[in-house]
Amino acid sequence: MIGYRPSRRAVIGGGVALAAARGALAQSAAGLATGPVRPTWDSLVHHYRYPDWFRDAKFGIWSHWGPQAVPEQGDWYGRFMYMQGHPMYRHHLATYGHPADTGMIDIQNRWTAAAWDPEALMKRFTAAGAKYFVSLACHHDNLDCYDSSHHAWNTLRVGPKRDVVGIWEKTARAAGLRFGVSNHAAHAWHWFQPAYAYDPEGPRKGERYDAYRLTRADGRGKWWDGLDPQELYTGRHMVAPDGIDSIAAMDAWHDQHDGQWMEHGPPADPRYATNWLLRQADLMAKYKPDFCYFDDYELPFGAVGLEAAADYYNRSIEWHGKIDVVLTAKQLKPYARFGLVQDVERGFSDHLWDEPWQTDTCIGDWFYNRSRFTDRSYKSAADVLQRLADVVSKNGNLLLSVPQRGDGTIDAEEEKILDGLAAWMTVNGEAIFGSRPWRVYGEGPTVLATGMQNEGGFKGFTDRDVRFTVNKGALYALFLAPPAGEAAIAALGWDRWRGGAIERVTLLGGGTVPYRQDGAALRLDLPRGLGTVPVVKIEGRGISG
């Protein structure tokens, strides 16, 4: 993905879409909320305050679950299945048939969620320490996973035939968790364009895929009778031209055109952004989420995205008497920095942030990938806990996706990971939940590169990497890898820290720790055989300052 700065055409297009959306909303039951927050960056920044519940929560679990989990091939199946030569295209051809005959429309209806047990999963998630839970509301595949008033392609009519978001919402709140949703639909219009292309090589060369030919009339007598496939696939906005005669050339065409990460709407077609705002306002009104994740660089569609943010904040004032919700977006520029919560997707930070933020990551692929189970390539519980400690020490939260199969279940390896998190939280949760950063986030030799999508280059932490939090007057030192024997914390040596007097050091779950302090470090005599991310609690006068 690349950063996006709206062109003049995009801004004008956003204004056209906004005017149309306001007219449509004025006639709908889900009209935009009114209140003190205006749809400008200045107003968002002026009114927004980070909720205490979010600052205390620290850890959330995300059900990034939808029809793309059905093939069990991982991320972006609904796009890659239409790109000849891609492994997902080959899987689709072998499993379901040619994409001119069997498309994403059919995969969506195969998502039946037949074995989904939301109560049992939520019990596992809460045991693992989640304080907020997020349900995917609509991915780039453009299926609304809720009772959508403005998009007929939704899970009450397609696939599960149930209100997935609504069921998750009731289950999460019954478990005492804050509830959130994620909305990725702003990108469906360009993401889905390969569905209008064709094979550039082979026996069906030049034959357009299903999105190009299907109309509402083709559904007569079929399961999707009355639905318009063009509303699902979003219409012909960037259709590959005839005459492309090699896979490499077709891939290059998609990379140059619909493969860019765009925050504006379809050129010369304001209807998509209009409908997106209708759907977003409806989603907020129906489920009153505490948290909303936009998969966008800042806000989608220019002025339309600002209207959506103002609507959400004004609704929160109606619900709670104040803005008590979280709206996340990515790659925030300085003018937007304090009007939203910044999300850093699959990335690290090298510094302690002034404001609360979030990183989101997954133990595997965003959508279920069978190979993660068979080759045991998930993030381990230790990996997750190291990330949690690192992020929390820098004033952040961790949102973790635990991918579900198409039927709604998780596999045995995922269960073990959640059990590992639960065991650690039982002993060490006081160092995380309700905590705040200390004067420095930590110390150690590992250098982390700040940015999104950089997990692949991470080489691991060492037993000298320590992170700090404070909670109820105590200082906590979290060792990202268990030290062997004596552990030295340089930040607590007399030469660097003169702010208080240490009176007691305790290993959580393990009793009192002998210690001594000199100019260079606080030295701890820790037992051998420590487990994952051991935590030491340091108490005394002025410790947390």
pLDDT of residue 25: 54
CATH of the domain at 467: 2.60.40.1180
Q: Are residues 361 and 510 in the same domain?
A: no
CATH of the domain at 173: 3.20.20.80
Note whether residue 450 is domain-resident: no
Q: Are residues 61 and 111 in the same domain?
A: yes
Q: Are residues 257 and 147 in the same domain?
A: yes
Task: List own/partner pairs for 270-273 with CB under 8 A and 24 or more apart.
Answer: 270/13, 270/16, 270/17, 270/20, 271/17, 271/20, 272/17, 272/189, 272/234, 272/235, 273/13, 273/14, 273/17, 273/18, 273/21, 273/300, 273/301, 273/304
Note whether residue 438 is domain-resident: no
Tokens 């004033």 sit on residue: 395
pLDDT of residue 544: 77
Neighbours of 490 (CB within 10 A): 15
Note whether residue 507 is domain-resident: yes
Give CA torsion, residues 398, 376, 413, 509, to 10 deg. Answer: -60
Question: Which residue among 431, 452, 477 closes a domain?
Answer: 431
Q: Are residues 47 and 104 in the same domain?
A: yes
Along the 545 residues of the chain, how does pLDDT read in single tens digits? 322 223 333 333 445 556 655 655 544 445 899 999 999 999 999 999 999 999 999 999 999 999 999 999 999 999 999 999 999 999 999 999 999 999 999 999 999 999 999 999 999 999 999 999 999 999 999 999 999 999 999 999 999 999 999 999 999 999 999 999 999 999 999 999 999 999 999 999 999 999 999 999 999 999 999 999 999 999 999 999 999 999 999 999 999 999 999 999 999 889 999 999 999 999 999 999 999 999 999 999 999 999 999 999 999 999 999 999 999 999 999 999 999 999 999 999 999 999 999 999 999 999 999 999 999 999 999 999 999 999 999 999 999 999 999 999 999 999 999 999 999 999 999 999 999 999 999 999 999 988 899 998 888 999 999 999 999 999 999 999 999 879 999 999 999 887 789 999 999 999 999 999 999 999 999 999 999 999 999 999 988 77
pLDDT of residue 8: 32
Q: Are residues 425 and 474 in the same domain?
A: no
List of E strands, 285-349: 291-297, 326-330, 341-345
Q: Are residues 503 and 369 in the same domain?
A: no
Note whether residue 1 is domain-resident: no
pLDDT of residue 500: 80
Question: Which residue among 431, 453, 479 closes a domain?
Answer: 431
pLDDT of residue 415: 98
pTM recorded for the entire structure: 0.94
> Torsions phi, psi of 343, nearest 5?
-110, 135
Q: Are residues 415 and 471 in the same domain?
A: no
Is residue 259 a contact partner of residue 238, using CB atoms and an 8 Å limit? no
Q: Is the dihedral of CA 55, 56, 61, 62 positive or negative?
A: negative
Q: Are residues 379 and 506 in the same domain?
A: no
Note whether residue 452 is domain-resident: no
- Count the domains in the chain: 2
Tokens 């140059």 sit on residue: 256
Q: Are residues 341 and 416 in the same domain?
A: yes
pLDDT of residue 24: 54
pLDDT of residue 450: 86
Q: CB-based contacts of 537: which residues, under 8 Å, 6+ apart?
A: 430, 431, 474, 475, 476, 505, 506, 507, 508
Note whether residue 380 is domain-resident: yes
Question: Which residue among 384, 413, 431 closes a domain?
Answer: 431
d(CA 475, CA 493): 14
Q: Are residues 103 and 206 in the same domain?
A: yes
In whole angstroms, how far apart are CA 257 and each of 88, 89, 261, 400, 458? 21, 20, 10, 31, 31
Note whether residue 442 is domain-resident: no
pLDDT of residue 542: 86
Q: Are residues 128 and 74 in the same domain?
A: yes
Residue 219: which domain range? 8-431
Nearest to residue 334, comparing CAs of 355, 363, 365?
Answer: 355
d(CA 532, CA 529): 10
Q: Are residues 243 and 97 in the same domain?
A: yes
pLDDT of residue 20: 59
Is residue 368 a contact partner of residue 406, using CB atoms and an 8 Å limit? yes
Cα separation of the two ends of the chain:
41
Note whether residue 505 is domain-resident: yes
pLDDT of residue 288: 98
